Structure 1
Amino acid sequence: MEVIPDEGGPLAISPIKRRALCALLLAGEQGLSPGELMEAVWGDGYARDGSLKTCLSQLRRVLPGRIPAGGSGGYRIEFGPADTLDAHRFRALVAESAEAVRLGEHESAVRTLQEALNLWGQGEPPLADLPDHTARLRLLRDELVFERRAAQIALFRERIHLGEHRDVLGDLRRGIAEDPFSEQLHALLMTALYRSGYRAEALRHFDAVSTLLLREAGSGPGQALRQLRDAIDVDDEAAEAAQALVLDARTPAPAAPPAPAAPPPPPLAQLPPDVIDFTGREDEVARVAAFLTPGPDVTGVPIASLIGPPGVGKSALAIHIAHRLRAAFPDGQIYIHLAGMSAHPREAAEVLGELLAFMGASAESLPASTGERAALFRSMLAGRRVLVVIDDAAGAEHVQPFLPGTAGCAVIVTSRAYLTGGAGIRPFRLDPLQREEALRLLEEIIGRDRVAAEPEAADEVMAACGGFPLAVRIAGARLSAQPNWPIAYFAGRLSDRLRALRANEMTVSASIADSYDALPGPARQAFRVLALAGPGDFPVWLIAMLLGTLEAEELLETLSDRSLLVTVSAGTAGPPRYRQHDLLRDYAEAQLLDHVSERDLAVERLLLGWLELIDRADARLPGEPHFPRPARLNVELFAPDEARHLIDANPGGWFIAECANILAAIRLACDERRYRLAYGLALRLSSFLCHQSRHREAEDMWERVMTAAAAEEDTRLAAEARLRLAAVVARQPGDELRSIRMLGSCLDAFEQVKNAEGVARSLAWRALVGHRQGALDAAVGDAERGLKLAREVEDGPAEVACLRVLGLVASAEGRHDEAVRLCEPALARAEKIARETGERVYECLALDTLITLRLAAGHREQALQLCDHGRALGQETGDLPAEAAFEELAGDALAALDRPEEAIARYTRAAGLFEIAADDRRAPLCRVRIAAVHAAQGAVEEARKLAEQSAVDLENLGFQVDAEAARRAAQGW
């Protein structure tokens, strides 16, 4: 856009003011409200009032007297007497050319049309400065672009009429590149080729057009194009007649005998063929069909909108339902492919022109504007029962011109975007197929016997396809084309899914690319960087952490509205969470690799942001036993405020919600060779995993960190990770030997790098595992050596661990009073750690051990007092497992004191606390203790029933050894 004064060159206008001026010019006399103008210029109206006033004030200085103050009618442009606008001049010239054609002055018409089109300039795309954030401006822009296209077609037609067949070929090909679905342009090119002597080329072009329209629009060429092709193929005087129809020359012709009456328009049966192997979706078919066929009293038009991500099967479902409902709509079915997500969305005016011509309207009677054509379309449907299928719509405004106006008709729309703003639209969201449905579809394609022969491999293929019918069909097509391939071989090639899931012209990537390319720039960036978030669901604030933006919610809503994200945990009280489907994440990751600096910055922000947040949460929960706390961070640069508030309110709940994402971040850090950062993240997550008994996840985490550190030849850090891994393994019954071997490797590594703290901790852990395994002499040797080293380097946690082992070994050997004396210093050292650091976990450990030893020594009253102290400590620190353990020990003390009712009450409370703390094993074990108390009171039958139920619970949870021990105990009652 340029503004040219009476004297001098174009005025300098900034991009923002250019957008504002363009929007006002296009809106014309009606003008724009402040909200519409803000949305047009900036894409939203959030806190833009001041910016809008500044922008308009500056425009008024550049264009005095043209922009009056905004009132109830909004803002508009007022032209002066001498002002001109190219759009007005363009329309006048086009009207002048039409009059020249009517008078037979074709050379004058060509000159006038060329002058009109020159006003558009040579830049591409047309109207580049015009904002299109609002539906109204998009509609006005589309009408202008349609008028330009109509003028181009008229110019090509007149040039061919003047005999410029060869000269117009290049311009026609460029026009088709802009609008590949225009049958008028294809007809003109075929005519120009034929008249230039390229008959075979004209016929080949028709074949190419047929393939394009079938693939992209789902239907072949229209009647006029088919007639032209047949005439060229015959190569006789019929060709001239057909070409005359194409050129539509309105030169007066000599009188001729009256033409026969035009044949009636063909019946409205435009649906593409139904998919013969359509599978699943029974519930969706039933719900949509019921909605589209309401009772006789309904006066509106039901509009079913099928929404979902690319490749989920929206079009196939729409066509399948439409075929099922043919009997309910006896006056016909109309199919409209809008290509809304493609690089060349179809313009409403052009599509309406084709539809109206198909329905019997003559070319002369077609109105020029979109609104008038839409009104004629509604009139021609009035009183008829017709089903309209609108495929691949970009939005509600894209659909509006094709909606019938009277009851009896119905509409199915497919779109990747939620259609907002349209009254009466009922959304039906399509999710990926369930595994059974996807497997049935694969069986339909490649045969049930072949799938049954390799069920596990077929499951792998289905997992890679993620339930997307397009992906399943591509996989089936590839396997069908290679009948000798084992399914397992193809499954092995799916490590790169997007590359493997392509067959002929069908690709998953191409389907996703249309949606991705249609996104605004900020939303495209958000889609790309979310590939780093991992496979789990994530909160709104994660995108803020990745991009450092305050518009995270708007970006996620844009992606969700266009089916590129799925909203999960709907219906809960908390804020929504989102998930990116695996295939979409693969595509996003591939796009992100092309933006190296953007990826590097996003990885940095993600990992450091998680580090800050985990550090904050870890500081508010009990620490991991036998390991010192990591040093606390003193800066927060990347952590969003919302996440910090959630942590402060409920650190444990926050960890539960985000644990999978944190583990994904640790994997990412290891893959990026940022093993030190991975170690820092794992260090701060480890306490939570320990107290939640999530040992498998902790084991995988530390093994990854250890492997990453070893790959970089960092012996010390690899040994630290191996020690943590050995501790996780040691906490799982039955893995003691593996833990001891790992601890031996840790000792060797720490001694090699002369790290005394590491040696002391490794010895302490090996002593703990040795005692549990029954290797008492080895445990004492490790504990004594570890205790000496721990005191030398002032490592309190290792000192407490070694003292506990010495007491436990003495008790195991029957030296109970000595065991108590050996363990009391452990409690004193733990209390000192609590005073110095505020860390109370070692106090809980030492108390637990001392209570156990006092019970073994017969000090039941003292043990009970310590249990009450421990329970209060657990409540004070919010350590539910510790509180439950002290209640269980109190039950042991009370049972030994022959106070059965009190013992049962403590065991019952302990079991409840263990269940709340998600300790599946300890709760049924408490109930076995309750059964033992009942048996001691003579209620043997009741005790055995409770013990058996507890044994079944333990078996179901996978604790076979404990289940067998419970049954053996019951047999002895």
Structure 2
Amino acid sequence: MTDQVMDTGDARFPAHPAGEDHFLGRTRELKELRADIERAGLDTLAGRKAPRARVLLIAGRPGSGRTALAEELVRQVEDRYPGGVLRARLSEPDSAPVPVETTARELLTELGVRAPAGAAEDELGEALRTALAGRRALLLLDDAVGAEQVDALLPDSPDCLAVVVSQGPLTGIADVRPCTLGGLDTKSAVEFLARYAGSVRITVDPRSAESLAEACLGQPAALTLAGGWLAARPKAAVSDLAKRMHADTGDGADGTPLARVFRLVHEELPGPAARMLRLLCLAPAGMLDPHTASALAGCSVSGARATLDDFVALGLLRAVDSPLPEYEVPGCLHPLLRALAEGQDRPGELQLARARMLERTVRLLQSCRAITETDSPQAHEKLLGMPRALRFPNPRAAADWLRIRRPALLAAARLAVADGELDTLARRLMSQLVRAMVAHFGTQAAAPDLYGIHSLVLDVAERRGLPREQAAALLNLGDLDAQTGRTRDALARYRAALDAGRAADDPYATGRAMESVGGAYQELGDYDRAADWFGRALAQRLARDERAEAARVYGRLATAQTYAGRYGEALRNWRAAVAGYRRNGDVAAHARALSELARVQEYAGRPEESLHTCHEAVEWARRAEDVRLQAALQLRLADTLERLGDPAAARLHRGAAERMLGEESPEDAPQDHEGQEDDVRACEIRSASQED
């Protein structure tokens, strides 16, 4: 990869002058919108209570300043909504609608409400309405594509207000009067130009400034680019730009003021900078950082950042308020960038730039995960082998990067599979993204995002006829369904994964799927079917001579048989599990299996055998240095001795258990149960399945 710094050929472009960040114009529109908040709705006039939140619609073409107006309105009235302001964008930069479930989940996250992974649109919408019930909140829904998106997100509380930004009317939502935007008035448009070009040039030639504002039709996006062009050329006259704008009429979409001034800015950029600008249309969700731009353009990270800052000064990008350098492509410029890229760059070049960007993302995710593996010499060596620009200084910095870049990373995953090809790069990207999220956030916290990633893999695998990838995705989705209590959904996915695993002739997937089907039936209370499926999985493990896995499945089979009351079969299988762990040298698992064997012996009415097995299990737990298991076994010994009529010995064992628990380190001690004894027993009962 080349390491060149892009020189724009001009002096550093000035940023907006300090103190001139106030909102310009739109006085009439703001007055109408505020009055619309106060006016009586149709339900009120009919003597009924309004069933839902009031909706204000700001309609206008991209680049008309519609989002800025919505933000200014929110700023002026937000103190009247103590429930807070919630913001969401309802379409991607390429105008594709954002799924309602994605938006609802993001809004719930802002409210501090955790929604289960994989929840359906209706469930998430209901959860959002419940969270907003009784709150006086303000929703800003930007870039809505249609009324269906908005309707699914509207709170039922009439005290809430929804400010919606859209290109056209929201047919289907009652009692909505759109505030349709045109251009800024001439005075405001000229003042807008002065922010960038400086007041002197505007003051000495007010006629040309008005002419330029007229050529831009008062559209803020076009005025921003025109002002940035003037700011970059202190010696250029305002009249020069006005004449060029009037002379370039264009045709169709190319004839809009924004397209004309954008074309002018692009043509006068140096070649490398112009190429980078065109390639920004490939940035996932229109969000980028210096690494993304560096990979797209094939330049150094420092050179990419300098060029991106120049683009901000020109009005071509927006700097995101973030601890890290982040930028956003304005939505109104995205179709213009894409048209330029497709017209001036060969398809192979665009594909190569996209591959470079995804490869850089994979390497950053690898570095992000490796920094957490502090006890792994291999991970440390791999980390040191990466370029310095790809390394994170510490795990906290890596976690911050992952959290801040999360929307762009998820968008990159969607981009990687957009063409329907699950190629090596896409697989690596999604694999590293899953691993990094689990390493930094944990499976439970990252579950909603993981669900989306695995769903992407499943969609493409089904479309392309890839049964191995299909089985893996179904298993992962089934696990997430099971964790969130949707056991029947999980069972259906596990059965489908079994079919896909058989079609791919993948023994790992088929064995894992059979075990998971058994686990789902066990969770549903159908213990006989659970035992049947665990038996099938065990037969496969034994046929493949997978001894460690067979010992574990013996335990799962025995657990299901115990729940079914088939103690004789359960005892045989626990003894087989004990023998398997002993042969494999797994001391901790050996101790846990003995503890479960003792429990079943007690259930089967064999207290003397249970007592003997408990003593043996205590010795193995001591060798394994498992203090909690030792304590649990001491408690079981105490209970058994009491039933056998030896209370003195029972007190000794109970006291030993209490001393062990008292000597536990604070981070290992039980936290979530009413009593230590109950916690230890609960842990012990689940120990057979916790090994999975």
Determine which of 12, 28, 36 is the counterpart of 1:276.
28
Separation (CA, whole Å) in 2 of partners of 1:524 and 1:861: 75
- CA positional deviation for 1:929: 0.9
> What one-letter code is carried by the residue in structure 2 that aligns with 1:805?
R
Structure 1 residues 804 and 282: alpha-carbon distance in aligned structure 2, compared to 1, 3 A threshold:
same
Secondary structure of 2:28's partner? coil
Separation (CA, whole Å) in 1 of partners of 2:287 and 2:615: 50
Residue segments in structure 2 that go unaligned for 5+ positions in a row: 15-23, 31-68, 77-166, 168-180, 211-224, 238-251, 603-609, 640-653, 680-692
Q: Deviations over 1:893-925 (max 9, x none)?
A: 9999577798699797469xxxxxxxxxxxxxx
Q: Deviations over 1:668-693 (max 9, x none)?
A: 12112221333333334444555332
Determine which of 518, 528, 552 is the counterpart of 1:767.
518
> What one-letter code is carried by the residue in structure 1 that aligns with 2:528?
D
Determine which of 391, 414, 436 is the counterpart of 1:667.
414
Determine which of 301, 312, 327 is the counterpart of 1:578.
327
Structure 1 residues 522 and 830: alpha-carbon distance in aligned structure 2, compared to 1, 3 A threshold:
farther
Structure 1 residues 395 and 715: alpha-carbon distance in aligned structure 2, compared to 1, 3 A threshold:
same
1:683 maps to 431
Are positions 1:133 and 2:133 aligned together?
no
> What one-letter code is carried by the residue in structure 2 that aligns with 1:392?
G
1:558 maps to 310
1:929 maps to 673
Determine which of 442, 451, 457 is the counterpart of 1:699.
451
> What one-letter code is carried by the residue in structure 2 that aligns with 1:534?
P
Determine which of 748, 763, 776 is the counterpart of 2:527.
776
Separation (CA, whole Å) in 1 of partners of 2:573 and 2:339: 62
CA contact (8 A) 1:800 1:846 kept: no
Secondary structure of 2:285's partner? coil
CA contact (8 A) 1:890 1:903 kept: no
Are positions 1:549 and 2:549 aligned together?
no
Are positions 1:599 and 2:350 aligned together?
yes
Structure 1 residues 673 and 353: alpha-carbon distance in aligned structure 2, compared to 1, 3 A threshold:
closer
Are positions 1:608 and 2:359 aligned together?
yes
> What one-letter code is carried by the residue in structure 2 that aligns with 1:530?
L
Mean CA deviation greater in 896-905 or 777-786: 896-905
Q: Deviations over 1:794-822 (max 9, x none)?
A: 66785465244224324435648667545
- CA positional deviation for 1:752: 3.1
Separation (CA, whole Å) in 1 of partners of 2:578 and 2:411: 42
Separation (CA, whole Å) in 2 of partners of 1:797 and 1:618: 28
- CA positional deviation for 1:732: 2.4
- CA positional deviation for 1:601: 0.8
Determine which of 722, 730, 739 is the counterpart of 2:474.
722
1:712 maps to 464
Does 1 or 2 have the higher relative contact order (CA < 8 Å, sep 6+)? 2
Separation (CA, whole Å) in 2 of partners of 1:800 and 1:736: 25
CA contact (8 A) 1:761 1:798 kept: no
Are positions 1:755 and 2:546 aligned together?
no
> What one-letter code is carried by the residue in structure 1 that aligns with 2:327?
Y
Determine which of 454, 478, 495 is the counterpart of 1:744.
495
Structure 1 residues 522 and 535: alpha-carbon distance in aligned structure 2, compared to 1, 3 A threshold:
same
Determine which of 272, 284, 288 is the counterpart of 1:534.
284
Separation (CA, whole Å) in 2 of partners of 1:620 and 1:892: 41
Separation (CA, whole Å) in 2 of partners of 1:893 and 1:537: 58
> What one-letter code is carried by the residue in structure 1 that aligns with 2:291?
W
Separation (CA, whole Å) in 2 of partners of 1:524 and 1:845: 62
1:789 maps to 540
Separation (CA, whole Å) in 1 of partners of 2:599 and 2:320: 50
Separation (CA, whole Å) in 2 of partners of 1:790 and 1:706: 27
CA contact (8 A) 1:538 1:577 kept: yes
- CA positional deviation for 1:754: 2.9
Secondary structure of 1:576's partner? coil
- CA positional deviation for 1:791: 4.3
1:462 maps to none
Taking structure 1 as the reference length, the TM-score comes to 0.37
Separation (CA, whole Å) in 1 of partners of 2:312 and 2:205: 34
Separation (CA, whole Å) in 1 of partners of 2:632 and 2:258: 60
Residues matched between the structures, number: 454
Separation (CA, whole Å) in 1 of partners of 2:636 and 2:257: 69
Secondary structure of 2:327's partner? strand
Structure 1 residues 599 and 830: alpha-carbon distance in aligned structure 2, compared to 1, 3 A threshold:
farther
Structure 1 residues 516 and 831: alpha-carbon distance in aligned structure 2, compared to 1, 3 A threshold:
farther
- CA positional deviation for 1:784: 2.5
Separation (CA, whole Å) in 2 of partners of 1:538 and 1:850: 55
> What one-letter code is carried by the residue in structure 1 that aligns with 2:533?
D
Structure 1 residues 401 and 530: alpha-carbon distance in aligned structure 2, compared to 1, 3 A threshold:
closer
Separation (CA, whole Å) in 2 of partners of 1:536 and 1:848: 52
CA contact (8 A) 1:771 1:809 kept: yes
Structure 1 residues 784 and 355: alpha-carbon distance in aligned structure 2, compared to 1, 3 A threshold:
closer
Residue segments in structure 1 that go unaligned for 5+ positions in a row: 1-41, 45-130, 139-271, 286-310, 323-333, 359-389, 403-499, 623-630, 833-842, 873-884, 912-925, 937-973
Taking structure 2 as the reference length, the TM-score comes to 0.50
| Paired residues for 1:336-351 under 5 Å | none
Structure 1 residues 643 and 584: alpha-carbon distance in aligned structure 2, compared to 1, 3 A threshold:
farther
CA contact (8 A) 1:891 1:907 kept: no
Structure 1 residues 810 and 686: alpha-carbon distance in aligned structure 2, compared to 1, 3 A threshold:
farther
> What one-letter code is carried by the residue in structure 2 that aligns with 1:352?
V
| Paired residues for 1:108-187 under 5 Å | 133-134=10-11
Q: Deviations over 1:849-868 (max 9, x none)?
A: 88788788785996799599
CA contact (8 A) 2:365 2:433 kept: yes
Structure 1 residues 318 and 910: alpha-carbon distance in aligned structure 2, compared to 1, 3 A threshold:
farther
Separation (CA, whole Å) in 2 of partners of 1:604 and 1:569: 28
